[in-house]
């Protein structure tokens, strides 16, 4: 089977009712990034940051995978599918995707404030535990913080993602502006002979000399068209 690697961004989850950060009316309009998505913001007001992510988890309880998520999961029947996502939601997994790499962390997990990437202190939350409070401690005695890669922090999973991208036969970009690094740089690791598809309802400048097949549609209709195009190639 051919290797199909997907890079998904915020636009993947829009149809699921999960707000994107950068669009007008998105989360940055309500909460400045410096307050809720930086180590400095967390150090300054941990209670506000915990409240912000508790709010996002509540939204996640009502969000459902859209047809785009489901179709990607179904493609595992015909391809070795790896999803590399910039999203912190679990909609890919809930749709049935079995191999998902989260570049920016996971909303449904918490970790140590002292040692965020120590796997011993990463905890998966049940929905009944989604309300994280000051005083909730990890195994090393530090406050539980969101298991999110904030601005200014290293992206530990990027090396793992690069390995899969380097082995891809088909590389698909869905719903990402291609301006956030290091994720946007993954395009540089796609093999020369691989096919590249970009699905987004808005024009996207991928800043690449590569031949990219642009599907100017939302995630659900775009992935459906992708499936048809790939099936026609067989």
The residues carrying an active-site annotation are 104
What span, in angstroms and rounded, lies between the C-alpha atoms of 130 and 112?
16
Cis peptide before 182 (omega within 30 of 0): yes
User: Contact, 217 vs 197, CB < 8 A?
Assistant: no
Strand ranges for the chain from DSSP E: 2-8, 79-85, 100-102, 105-112, 123-124, 144-148, 170-174, 195-199, 213-215
Structure tokens, 7: 């890079």
What span, in angstroms and rounded, lies between the C-alpha atoms of 187 and 191?
9
């Amino acid at each position: 089977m051919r290797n199909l690697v997907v890079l998904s961004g915020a636009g993947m989850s829009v149809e699921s009712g999960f707000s994107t950060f950068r669009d007008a009316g998105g989360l940055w309009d309500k909460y400045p990034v410096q307050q809720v998505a930086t180590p400095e913001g967390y150090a300054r007001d941990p209670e506000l940051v915990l409240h912000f992510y508790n709010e996002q988890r509540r939204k996640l309880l009502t969000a459902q995978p859209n047809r785009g998520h489901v179709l990607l999961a179904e493609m595992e029947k015909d391809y070795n599918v790896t999803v590399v996502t910039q999203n912190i939601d679990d909609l890919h997994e809930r749709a049935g995707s079995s191999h998902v790499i989260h570049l920016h962390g996971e909303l449904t997990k918490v970790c140590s404030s002292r040692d965020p990437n120590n796997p011993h202190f990463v905890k998966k939350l049940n929905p009944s535990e989604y309300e994280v409070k000051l005083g909730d401690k990890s195994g090393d005695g530090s406050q539980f913080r969101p298991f999110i890669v904030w601005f200014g922090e290293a992206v530990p999973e990027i090396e793992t993602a690069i390995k899969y991208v380097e082995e891809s036969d088909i590389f698909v970009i869905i719903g990402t502006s291609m301006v956030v690094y290091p994720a946007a740089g993954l395009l540089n690791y796609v093999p020369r002979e691989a096919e590249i598809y970009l699905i987004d309802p808005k024009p996207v400048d991928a800043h690449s000399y590569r031949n990219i097949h642009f599907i100017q549609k939302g995630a659900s209709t775009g992935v459906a068209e992708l499936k048809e195009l790939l099936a026609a190639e067989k």
